[in-house]
Amino acid sequence: MSLSEDQTNAIPAARESGQPTLRATVPALEARLYEPVSLLDHGFVRVIDYMGDDHAIVQAARVSYGRGTKKVSEDTGLIRYLMRHRHTTPFEMCEIKFHVKLPIFVARQWIRHRMASVNEYSARYSVMDREFYIPAPAQLAAQSALNRQGRDAVLEGTEAEEVLGLLRDDAERCYRDYAWMLNEGTEENPADPTRQGLARELARMNLTLNTYTQWYWKTDLHNLFHFLALRADSHAQYEIRVYAEAMLEIVDAWVPVAARAFRDYRLGAVSFSAPMMAILRRMLAGETVAQPDSGLSVREWREMMASLGGTD
Amino acid sequence: MSLSEDQTNAIPAARESGQPTLRATVPALEARLYEPVSLLDHGFVRVIDYMGDDHAIVQAARVSYGRGTKKVSEDTGLIRYLMRHRHTTPFEMCEIKFHVKLPIFVARQWIRHRMASVNEYSARYSVMDREFYIPAPAQLAAQSALNRQGRDAVLEGTEAEEVLGLLRDDAERCYRDYAWMLNEGTEENPADPTRQGLARELARMNLTLNTYTQWYWKTDLHNLFHFLALRADSHAQYEIRVYAEAMLEIVDAWVPVAARAFRDYRLGAVSFSAPMMAILRRMLAGETVAQPDSGLSVREWREMMASLGGTD
Amino acid sequence: MSLSEDQTNAIPAARESGQPTLRATVPALEARLYEPVSLLDHGFVRVIDYMGDDHAIVQAARVSYGRGTKKVSEDTGLIRYLMRHRHTTPFEMCEIKFHVKLPIFVARQWIRHRMASVNEYSARYSVMDREFYIPAPAQLAAQSALNRQGRDAVLEGTEAEEVLGLLRDDAERCYRDYAWMLNEGTEENPADPTRQGLARELARMNLTLNTYTQWYWKTDLHNLFHFLALRADSHAQYEIRVYAEAMLEIVDAWVPVAARAFRDYRLGAVSFSAPMMAILRRMLAGETVAQPDSGLSVREWREMMASLGGTD
Amino acid sequence: MSLSEDQTNAIPAARESGQPTLRATVPALEARLYEPVSLLDHGFVRVIDYMGDDHAIVQAARVSYGRGTKKVSEDTGLIRYLMRHRHTTPFEMCEIKFHVKLPIFVARQWIRHRMASVNEYSARYSVMDREFYIPAPAQLAAQSALNRQGRDAVLEGTEAEEVLGLLRDDAERCYRDYAWMLNEGTEENPADPTRQGLARELARMNLTLNTYTQWYWKTDLHNLFHFLALRADSHAQYEIRVYAEAMLEIVDAWVPVAARAFRDYRLGAVSFSAPMMAILRRMLAGETVAQPDSGLSVREWREMMASLGGTD
């Protein structure tokens, strides 16, 4: 795990400085505040701040109802109802801020989620750290022949070793040349006084896409669930999925009722189209339906049968 | 001030239940949490939750710089620099949630600010309260002849009284008929068992636009400043400006450095176009410039002279 | 239908002034451009401008694939695949702008869709027209006893007449008093020179929520589908649903393949949670499942059975 | 300029297929449709579609005013008024879609503008082209000593040559190894049947940040002006500024009145804070003001004097 020395040293102080607050507070999340969860070889995610809890969702929903019912069991039922029926605005009332360290190619996928606030480490201002993502051998997978964006079997034998060697050598050479072009010097390697040094905003273009960057990323619970529905899904690329899975465990601690509802109604949910519903009704009535008389394309039929756990 | 009885009763409990937190905490804002600020005749605004403080802005900006400088005086300078140069993303790292009671015609202006989360009391689900905004006599202004969206002198004599009488009578009659159409009954006036009662989602259309509604409204500090720049401005309609001014005072307590910078660089700022800058340089060089040789339209010239506190 | 005289007179000229363009053009939508579809008693929706067509969706999706396949049948398959798997960004590449006249209480629901651009007629600047929504008798429904936001049977007999009378009288009286307070005069009724007249921004608060307003509303196809999924749904209030249904027919003409996919995979779709999927698999395997041994709450069980067209 | 062969071949057909439309059409922009403007060594920007024109801005603004005035000179005045007073929603009524080819490190800055729709070439699905940005020698600047994100003098002599050599060699080696890891083969270099080939989604991490990518990018005129205000500014990095400048010229052709207003009131504008305005008034009254008695910090004083074209 690669928090900087400064960042690591700041944690004990931050975790000692408890203050009283009248705001909604979640002890299970307080226990994790500032503490990084290590991911990949140098990455991490940690919670820096949060606002709201399960009850804040209920409170926002109930502003609609005037005097609503108030038992805890009903709170749970209401949150599950909101999730099931895609009433999204009450979930926007909770907010969370993460500090994340991640490879640039992962950051490029992540940033596509626009409904969030981001402050990223800037390679225009500052020198990047010498840290690259090199996959563990178990993650070094071949291109899937079936799915153009998927992985297949893990590479074997010398091919795996050669790939790892190339990834490592290329990242290191590019970084070394980046540092040389900057000519800013370090304690061990002072700058060359005969050279001017290339501007940081230019030199950075020599880095490889597995170089680590870091950012503060803040979003509300509704948009976080949307992110997790896409990125904690089995079709997401492994390197972003590990972040999403770690964040989902954090959400479990933060808003346990909403997280449970999300896992039931969103993560594990299957959507059937109107034509699929018609087929389902025929099947439940005892009819044997086959693809040719289903009205579905072969591809849709396979998707439907796969979701029902059957075969075609 | 018109918090409901339930809402009022909940405040002491909420304000007693202090818990320890490791999050950024602002004592001056904690002191105001949940307490409504009364506005207009039945309205209010109060803070329900917040996230972040002045330091959170600095922290987000500094993620760009790696090891940055750390003295408090430098924090202030950095926040002022960010505000002056319109670096907006660090201000998005702070978030605040208000509970607001406001007339519907004010809510219709307010909701145009899209970068916020809202849960409003629903007249589809619930019966609206019998509360209307009736302006104080000092706010009963005539239409401005110069400015199509402005006010002029206060109405005088019987006209003011007649207007107030109409506003009150129309709102009350409309509400009475709304309640009659609903036929839901109250303790004093039980429902008429011979009538079905009109659906709430329909009956509400009979209410006037000065009827009060309420909502939870949550946004980040950058978008709040944008709201305040437009709505705490002297050109804003009085009835929304009082809300903006009360919120700005809350922001003073919450993030005093950022609020000070906002007042200096945004609220009181004047923007000069390229042609205006050319004129300004001529004037500072001692030249006397008049509108005809300024290159500005009459309207722009007046705007410029007004901002310089001069005359044309 | 209540286009103003000016607006009506402008249509023939606009519809004559065809010009050549190299942009994607949809003849079926050109045929409807500017022409209002009448809705409710004085409302309408009409298309003022559009950008893109079915092919623009495909083109955007294919920028991902480099050299993609290009047959029309494959375009259809790709659009249906994108819709089925909720790949939303390619649908954002189409844009449409509507001119809409609608009652204020409908506008208040509609504006909650934030991902759109809006310019609304301003009652701060201008005098509102004397037009109110009065429901047709067939729409005058009683409050549902089961569903807090629903309607039930149509009101009968004298109750219906009385309701209509109240709605009409209250709207008209409020408007008449609004005009009196403004004291701007008309040809028939000149202004009273002894009165100052109340500012427009204040007088408007006396209007009822069934007063008609109008706006330009522009959004992209992805966000429009989201709007239609919620508002063309049977649970939406009738008064906004008629707008959504008219817009969906316009979308049918504009992007027929995407609209067909939307109707199949979104409008008519049913989502089953992970626990529901488990029950479905048991039922398809021939097991008889009852609510008590389903693991679902009574409410969820009813929702599931209703979607399967069965009974509990 | 590096449009692919397919893309280049499609232009003449697209540019021949004129169709009649009743929509707002801008001949000066039609003349540029689909035609790429070459930027940097392999980049380009071109317009694929647009919606609206100067008049659409006026039309949206006038929906507020009811019967507005209608002469062309008044249209210009209204657009300039809207720009000067930051009335932004009417500018949202115009929309434009660009096809852009750009280096990844530029794309990473660009994507921070969230209010836009994007479809980017996916290196998860497809193999990246072998194209990298190598700066022209005149752009090979040293790090600024004054401004942490700025450039200074151009590198001289062997340092420049060495830097160019490193940039080229590293990009090419990384790409060669990327292609080797993929093992997909080309006509000249068939795939090695003894190797499995690494998944595309993994192999891409070996590319350098100057590799070119491409995307469709669509936004409205208000958000485009915001982008241009930041990126066509002299403080923007050269490599994104050339794109912004080319796009601003396209906007000149598309909405000439709005573009002129943008150049006058936004691009060349200077904002003075309340304290600066007080100083300005003193100076215009003939007083000599110096930094120590100005109330401004040294840094602000310098910024103010620089904008007035003076010295400190």
Looking at residue C312, what is its pLDDT? 39
Q: Which tokens sit at A144?
A: 């899937």
Query: CB B114 to CB C112 under 8 A?
Result: no
Between A and B, how many residue pairs show a Cβ–Cβ distance under 8 A?
Answer: 146
Separation in Å, CA of A305 to nearest CA in chain B: 40
Average pLDDT, chain D: 92
In tens, the pLDDT along D23-68 reads: 999 999 999 999 999 999 999 999 999 999 999 999 999 886 655 5
Query: CB D149 to CB A201 under 8 A?
Result: yes
Residue type, A116: A
Asked if C17 is an interface residue toward chain D (Cβ–Cβ < 8 A), one would say yes
Query: CB B205 to CB C105 under 8 A?
Result: yes
Q: Indicate if the alpha-carbon torsion angle A172, A177, A183, A189 is positive or negative.
A: positive
Q: Are A273 and A304 in contact (CB under 8 A)?
A: no
Query: CB B125 to CB A64 under 8 A?
Result: yes
Residues 270-289 of B with CB under 8 A from C: none
From the candidates D200, D231, D281, D299, give the one annotated as an active-site residue. D231
Query: CB D310 to CB B284 under 8 A?
Result: yes
Separation in Å, CA of B247 to nearest CA in chain A: 18
Asked if A225 is an interface residue toward chain B (Cβ–Cβ < 8 A), one would say no
Q: Which tokens sit at D275?
A: 């304290």
Looking at residue D66, what is its pLDDT? 57
Asked whether the predicted pLDDT for residue D188 surpasses 90, the reply is no
In tens, the pLDDT along D227-253 reads: 999 999 988 999 999 999 999 999 999
- Contact residues, chain D, for B233 at CB < 8 Å: none
Mean pLDDT of D1-16: 82
Residues 142-201 of D with CB under 8 A from B: 148
Mean pLDDT of A229-238: 94
Looking at residue B65, what is its pLDDT? 66
pLDDT tens for chain C, residues 1 to 312:
578 888 888 888 888 878 999 999 999 999 999 999 999 999 999 999 999 999 999 999 988 665 544 555 688 999 999 999 999 999 999 999 999 999 999 999 999 999 999 999 999 989 999 999 999 999 999 988 777 667 889 998 899 999 999 999 999 999 999 999 999 988 888 999 999 999 999 999 999 999 999 999 999 999 999 999 999 998 899 999 999 999 999 999 999 999 999 999 999 899 999 889 999 999 999 999 999 999 998 989 999 999 998 543
Looking at residue D156, what is its pLDDT? 87
Backbone conformation region of residue B255, classed left if phi is above 0, alpha if psi is from -120 to 50, else beta = beta
- Contact residues, chain C, for B209 at CB < 8 Å: 104, 204-209
Backbone angles phi, psi at A240, to 5 degrees: -95, -25
- Contact residues, chain A, for C299 at CB < 8 Å: 77, 81
Query: CB C51 to CB D17 under 8 A?
Result: no
Asked whether the predicted pLDDT for residue D72 surpasses 70, the reply is no
pLDDT tens for chain B, residues 1 to 312:
578 888 888 888 888 878 999 999 999 999 999 999 999 999 999 999 999 999 999 999 988 665 544 566 688 999 999 999 999 999 999 999 999 999 999 999 999 999 999 999 999 989 999 999 999 999 999 988 777 667 889 998 899 999 999 999 999 999 999 999 999 988 888 999 999 999 999 999 999 999 999 999 999 999 999 999 999 998 899 999 999 999 999 999 999 999 999 999 999 899 999 889 999 999 999 999 999 999 998 989 999 999 998 543
Looking at residue A310, what is its pLDDT? 52
In tens, the pLDDT along A89-135 reads: 999 999 999 999 999 999 999 999 999 999 999 999 899 999 999 99
Rounded Cα gap, residues C217 and C102, in angstroms: 12
Looking at residue A201, what is its pLDDT? 95
Can B112 be counted among the known catalytic residues?
A: no
Query: CB C112 to CB B118 under 8 A?
Result: yes
In tens, the pLDDT along A3-42 reads: 888 888 888 888 887 899 999 999 999 999 999 999 999 9
The three-state DSSP-derived secondary structure of chain D is CCCCHHHHHHHHHHHHCCEEECCCCCHHHHCCCCCCEEECCCEEEEEEEEECCHHHHHHHHHCCCCCCCCCHHHHHHHHHHHHHCCCCHHHHHCEEEEEEEEEHHHHHHHCCCCCCEEEECCCCCCCCCCCECCCCHHHCEEECCCCCCCEEEECCHHHHHHHHHHHHHHHHHHHHHHHHHHCCCCCCCCCCCCCCCECHHHHHHHCECCEEEEEEEEEEHHHHHHHHHHHCCCCCCHHHHHHHHHHHHHHHHHCHHHHHHHHHHHHCCEEECHHHHHHHHHHHCCCCCCHHHCCCCHHHHHHHHHHCCCCC
Query: CB C274 to CB A271 under 8 A?
Result: no
Separation in Å, CA of B130 to nearest CA in chain C: 15
Looking at residue A137, what is its pLDDT? 94
Query: CB C297 to CB A270 under 8 A?
Result: no
Choose the closest CB to D117 out of C92, C127, C216: C92
Cα of B187 vs its chain's centroid, Å? 37
- Contact residues, chain C, for D27 at CB < 8 Å: 19
Domains of chain A: 1-133+211-269 (3.30.1360.170), 134-209 (no CATH), 274-307 (no CATH)
Give the CA dihedral A186, A192, A198, A203, nearest 10 degrees. Answer: -40
Would you please indicate which residues of C are annotated as catalytic (active-site) residues? Answer: 231
Looking at residue D65, what is its pLDDT? 66
Separation in Å, CA of C54 to nearest CA in chain D: 14
Rounded Cα gap, residues B295 and A304, in angstroms: 70
Asked if D83 is an interface residue toward chain A (Cβ–Cβ < 8 A), one would say no
Looking at residue D311, what is its pLDDT? 42
Residues B235, B236, B237: CA angle, nearest 5 degrees: 120
Looking at residue A98, what is its pLDDT? 98
| Cα–Cα nearest to D112, from B87, C220, C115 | B87
| Cα–Cα nearest to D84, from D296, D216, D264 | D264
Looking at residue B312, what is its pLDDT? 39
Tell me the whole-structure pTM to 2 decimals: 0.96
Average pLDDT, chain C: 92
Separation in Å, CA of D10 to nearest CA in chain A: 26
- Contact residues, chain D, for A156 at CB < 8 Å: 196
